Amino acid sequence: MIDKSPETPFLVVDLDAIALNYLTLRRLMPQARIYYAMKANPAPEVLSLLAGLGANFDTASIFEIHQCIAAGIAPERISYGSTLKKEKDIASAYQLGIRLFAFDSLGELEKIAAHAPGAKVYCRILMNNEGAEWPLSRKFGCDVDMAYDLLLHSRKLGLEPWGVSFHVGSQQTDPTQWDKAICTTAKLFSALKQAGIKLQMVNLGGGFPGKYRAETAKIETYINTITNAMHRYFGDDIPEMMLEPGRSLVADAGIIQCEIVLISQKSYTDNKRWVFLDAGIYNGLSETLGECIKYRIRTPHDGTEIAPIILAGPTCDSADILYERANYQLPVNLKVGDKIEILSAGAYSNATSSVGFNGFPPLKAYYI
Amino acid sequence: MIDKSPETPFLVVDLDAIALNYLTLRRLMPQARIYYAMKANPAPEVLSLLAGLGANFDTASIFEIHQCIAAGIAPERISYGSTLKKEKDIASAYQLGIRLFAFDSLGELEKIAAHAPGAKVYCRILMNNEGAEWPLSRKFGCDVDMAYDLLLHSRKLGLEPWGVSFHVGSQQTDPTQWDKAICTTAKLFSALKQAGIKLQMVNLGGGFPGKYRAETAKIETYINTITNAMHRYFGDDIPEMMLEPGRSLVADAGIIQCEIVLISQKSYTDNKRWVFLDAGIYNGLSETLGECIKYRIRTPHDGTEIAPIILAGPTCDSADILYERANYQLPVNLKVGDKIEILSAGAYSNATSSVGFNGFPPLKAYYI
């Protein structure tokens, strides 16, 4: 517990809320194995909470794997979900007991075969990320044709072709995107079955939303869409399912407390106030880059008259503008020193802080 | 010295090169006071080198001021150059002996008056940043009309109206931008003189370039343009000049050593290779955001046949794509494990690293 409010900015994360989110997801989809995408918030407090509740872990690097192992998480509960791994990191992971690896290219498959012999591998297929507020389309995955060949090839390399993964994009606002992806995946399963390979697992990725400014469907709607699609496209032969929630478990559990440093105008004809906070893209709010994630903001004057603003962070860097085109409005009688709350800020916030750009320390975080 | 090359990625900074850049600038413009914009690279090694050579320091936060004081730099050599300061930080700086403060708004001026009575203040005016590869235009500065009123007002508040600052944008490729800014500044000096205020100082900002992919004019060209403009617009009554170089002192002194983690294609019809490095926007290459800064890249196969690539970093985040539209080409026979050098990477690189997003540690740096 925090006795006295520390100096802003800081993040407060409610661990009970994370537990509830995890247990809700498990209840809604008991047949899926949940792998927490720990990059969203890798705090030891979050890891040990979720480990205690039985979660598995999706890791993005050997460093995250080391963190999991250090937290006492057994290697069979860890997936090495990055499709970009150094050979020595694959070897280290294998030595630590990790047996589940993602890939999306021939080069990666060959590295895994060389350094993790016999491991289970799953191929990430490329999805277009329509409807996602933080799209992931271009960088990860390969075409289905190529995935087919690579999964066939994986067996020749002595690996166990285990499944297929996709990711419909982070903060995906359109649940039907899973339907499309599952349809594609089922066809790939079927084609490989005809070629003598029986895949065992569909990794449905992450993408479930946090509560930002725009309304999104409820988690139940997402799960229903997914469950229905699995039945529709896989019939009675439903494979093991992996889910990789990150944002949806931790985002809504966190609030960034910050403060107004300055309110100003650039000219006498300026019709928008500039509001400067002590938190910005380099110390907790990197997801506002490109104005992608539109946080809900609470002020001490909510309910009073509002007017348009431009919101910016504290550094001497012009990239540190949070919202300029997203039509944010805040109360007219905001003043310097007012405490501001950035809601649903538990994901990709302190984890992406800079080491201290402009001298500002990384966003502090308190887990209660 | 580094005996054995450490594991990539890492930054190596040649301190002699920084010293040479500083001494060159001082030789070319002996009449100006040089304030190193330490946000570009705040390493203690860089601070003590430049402090020893007689530099002054432009700081962006109270934290940077503390760093300077801890390095033994006298407060009269420090400018608090941020236009966004908390009241308590102004008070702390004043208590530490800082007497030179930037502002660009009434709100900031009133805070300075309250917590740094009698201090010298300079007003930042808004410039359009045409020609800058990392523009700074929108966030800082106010219109000249407003600057006039605020500088007048500063005296009523018990402050010493000291000067005017502007910034033509970081990595400014067009030296004539200073001519325009100095012209505007001289008119403002003259208008204030008629109102009974004799300003003493022009802060010419930073913006001198590093050597990236596009050719830029030599530093001599920039200095000549500035010197000529000062004479043209101020005549015989040239005020004190401040320069705030950051990038131009440290960028070319640094090289990021990294490694190719994967080379892949997304489909059989893909005509571009994806090349993935172990350094990306979260661990050293944040200035590639929006493909603004286009680094020169050295490979072990330079001089052999090249072909288009997309270059990306190591995290499971799609924002971590370095160059996709900037038409980079690299040798056809690049392979996984090849060592790659990112040249002129001494500025805004390790300083902007994340604390460990996706588990990847902040970019290590070696100062030799």
Average pLDDT of B172-190? 93
CA distance B54 to B194: 36
A80, β-bridge pairs: A59, A101
Lowest mean pLDDT of A156-160, A286-290, A323-327, B173-177, name the range: B173-177
Q: Cβ–Cβ of B126/A350 closer than 8 Å?
A: no
pLDDT exceeds 70 at position A308: yes
pLDDT exceeds 50 at position A330: yes
Domain with CATH 2.40.37.10 in chain B: 253-367
What is the chain A residue with the closest CA to B264? A105
Percent of chain A scoring above 70 in pLDDT:
97
What is the chain B residue with the closest CA to A135? B318
Specify the fold of A15-251: TIM Barrel (3.20.20)
Residues 162-221 on B with a CB inside 8 Å of A are: none
Over residues A112-169, the pLDDT tens digits come to 999 999 999 999 999 876 666 665 568 999 999 999 999 999 999 999 999 999 998 8
pLDDT exceeds 90 at position B134: no
Question: Cβ(B41)–Cβ(B346) under 8 Å?
Answer: yes
Over residues B269-308, the pLDDT tens digits come to 888 999 999 999 999 999 999 999 999 999 999 999 999 9
Over residues A216-266, the pLDDT tens digits come to 999 999 999 999 999 999 999 999 999 999 999 999 999 999 999 999 999
* B143, B289, B316, best to mutate vs chain A, most A CBs in 10 Å: B316
Average pLDDT of B134-138? 63
Residues 256-295 on B with a CB inside 8 Å of A are: 259, 261-268, 274, 276, 278, 282, 286, 289
Q: How confident is the model at residue A75 (pLDDT cuts 50, 70, 90)?
A: very high
Lowest mean pLDDT of A17-21, A81-85, B95-99, B204-208, name the range: B204-208
Task: State the angle between helix axes of B44-52 and B15-28 in degrees (0 to 180), rounded to the nearest 10.
Answer: 40
Chain B: nearest CA to A60, how far in angstroms?
5
A123, β-bridge pairs: A103, A164
pLDDT exceeds 80 at position B130: no
Q: Which of A244, A241, A230 is nearest to A35 (CA)?
A: A244
Secondary-structure class of domain B253-367 per CATH: mainly beta
Residues of A within 8 A of B106 (CB-CB) are 264
Which of A139, A356, A358 minimises the CB distance to B321? A139
pLDDT exceeds 60 at position A1: no
pLDDT exceeds 70 at position B341: yes
* A139, A263, A325, best to mutate vs chain B, most B CBs in 10 Å: A139
Average pLDDT of A5-30? 97
State which of A212-216, A279-283, B203-207, B212-216 shows the largest mean pLDDT. A279-283
Tally of CB atoms within 10 A around A308: 11
Q: Cβ–Cβ of A61/B360 closer than 8 Å?
A: yes
Q: Cβ–Cβ of A82/B316 closer than 8 Å?
A: yes
pLDDT confidence of residue B1 = 45
pLDDT exceeds 90 at position B133: no
Residue with tokens 């705090």: A43
Residues 298-327 on A with a CB inside 8 Å of B are: 312, 314-321, 324
pLDDT exceeds 50 at position B331: yes
pLDDT exceeds 50 at position A202: yes
What value of ipTM does the predicted structure carry? 0.96
Residues of A within 8 A of B67 (CB-CB) are 359
Q: How confident is the model at residue B135 (pLDDT cuts 50, 70, 90)?
A: low
List all residues 6 or more positions away from A194 whose beta carbon is below 8 Å from its beta carbon.
none
pLDDT confidence of residue B56 = 98
Domain with CATH 3.20.20.10 in chain B: 15-251
**Higher local confidence (pLDDT), B34 or A3:** B34
B316 is known as an active-site residue: yes
Reported as type and span, the H/E element at residue A262 is strand A254-264
DSSP state of B354: B
Question: Cβ(A132)–Cβ(A173) under 8 Å?
Answer: yes
Q: How confident is the model at residue A172 (pLDDT cuts 50, 70, 90)?
A: confident
CA distance A120 to A117: 9
Q: Cβ–Cβ of A141/B266 closer than 8 Å?
A: yes
By annotation, the residues of A acting in catalysis are 316
pLDDT exceeds 60 at position A310: yes
Q: Cβ–Cβ of B143/A81 closer than 8 Å?
A: no
Average pLDDT of A57-81? 98
Mean pLDDT score across all residues of chain B: 95
pLDDT exceeds 50 at position B353: yes
